[in-house]
């Protein structure tokens, strides 16, 4: 699959899809309280996306995924399947939203805390968030994918956490996952050269313990091998002639 350079019309469709994805996360934040199940969160998001936004939840039936959102709790790294698990005080939850509007995708995720988080959980989430932004700030016409990974890895490891290797960001557009793969580790000035018009996700998965992960028998849920906490943040970004434009900013991020 080749890397796609989005036309001005396609860029505008990406902006719309990105805004919608961010709006879902803004909406669902009020529901994240002790006693609600991840399945209920999924149902609320599904209804909002399909009925309010008149959009499509991209994960539903994607390669067999059974739900409309991903809910990754505590030591779950990514791709957690919503189910009967009820949120408890102290839980850390990543919600990953991708919507399709007018044929284009907007993809974003955030960390949420149920009640007051532990000091370690808050610090882990903060480091993951800052590492994402350090990666985003590397985006510019003429720079390299390796610049993104190096900025993220250096910062995370300096803070004595680890970066997951097996899962990464990706190109995105009319296709959910397209080239290039965006690794969250690497060396400067290596890999694909970035060009204006590219749209991609940056979504570092940061573990409190070791970087190793394992896939559960359901074929989707990825957890830390040492059962340590994991945190992730994600944005969809457009590379412009002048730098970058984040397409999935929420209300409190503008």
Task: Give the pLDDT confidence of 162-183 residue by residue, as tens digits.
Answer: 999 999 999 999 999 999 999 9
Backbone angles phi and psi of 136, in degrees to 5: -60, -40
Please give the pLDDT value at position 2: 83
Cα-based torsion angle of the residue sequence 94, 3, 18, 156 in order, rounded to the nearest 10 degrees: 40
252's CB contacts (< 8 A; 6+ apart) are 26
Please give the pLDDT value at position 252: 73
- Write out the H or E segment, with its range, that includes residue 169: strand 169-171
Distances (CA, A) of 163 to 132, 168, 207, 216: 11, 10, 6, 19
Please give the pLDDT value at position 1: 58
Q: Give me the residues of the chain with pLDDT under 50, please.
A: none
Please give the pLDDT value at position 253: 67
Number of Cβ within 10 Å of residue 167's Cβ equals 18
- Write out the H or E segment, with its range, that includes residue 76: strand 76-78
- Write out the H or E segment, with its range, that includes residue 105: strand 104-113
Cα–Cα distance measured from residue 29 to residue 46, given in angstroms and rounded to the nearest whole number: 14
Cα–Cα distance measured from residue 147 to residue 166, given in angstroms and rounded to the nearest whole number: 18
Please give the pLDDT value at position 30: 96
Cα–Cα distance measured from residue 222 to residue 78, given in angstroms and rounded to the nearest whole number: 6
Q: Is the CATH code 3.90.230.10 the one for domain 8-253? A: yes
Number of Cβ within 10 Å of residue 186's Cβ equals 20
- Write out the H or E segment, with its range, that includes residue 246: strand 243-246
Strand partners, 94: 72, 111
Please give the pLDDT value at position 29: 97
Is omega for the bond preceding 253 within 30 degrees of 0, making it cis?
A: no
| Residue count of the chain | 254
């Amino acid at each position: 699959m080749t890397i796609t350079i989005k036309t001005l019309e396609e860029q505008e469709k990406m902006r719309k899809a990105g805004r919608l994805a961010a709006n879902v996360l803004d909406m669902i934040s009020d529901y994240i309280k002790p006693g609600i199940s991840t399945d209920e969160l999924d149902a609320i998001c599904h209804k909002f996306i399909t009925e309010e936004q008149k959009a499509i939840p991209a994960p539903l039936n994607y390669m067999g995924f059974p739900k409309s959102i991903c809910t990754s709790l505590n030591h779950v790294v990514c791709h957690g399947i919503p189910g009967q698990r009820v949120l408890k005080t102290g839980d850390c939850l990543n919600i990953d939203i991708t919507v399709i509007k007018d044929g284009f995708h907007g993809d974003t995720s955030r960390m949420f805390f149920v009640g007051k988080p532990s000091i370690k959980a808050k610090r882990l989430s903060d480091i993951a968030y800052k590492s994402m932004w350090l990666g985003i700030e590397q985006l510019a016409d003429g720079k390299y994918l390796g610049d993104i990974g190096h900025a993220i890895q250096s910062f995370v490891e300096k803070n004595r956490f680890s970066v997951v290797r097996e899962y990464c960001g990706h190109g995105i557009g009319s296709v959910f996952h397209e080239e290039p793969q965006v690794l969250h580790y690497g060396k400067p000035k290596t890999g694909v050269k970035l060009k204006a018009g590219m749209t991609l996700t940056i979504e570092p998965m940061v573990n409190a313990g070791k970087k190793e992960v394992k896939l559960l028998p359901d074929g989707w849920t990825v957890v830390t091998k040492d059962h340590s906490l994991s945190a992730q943040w994600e944005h969809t970004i457009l590379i412009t002639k002048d730098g970058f434009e984040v397409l999935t900013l929420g209300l409190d991020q503008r």
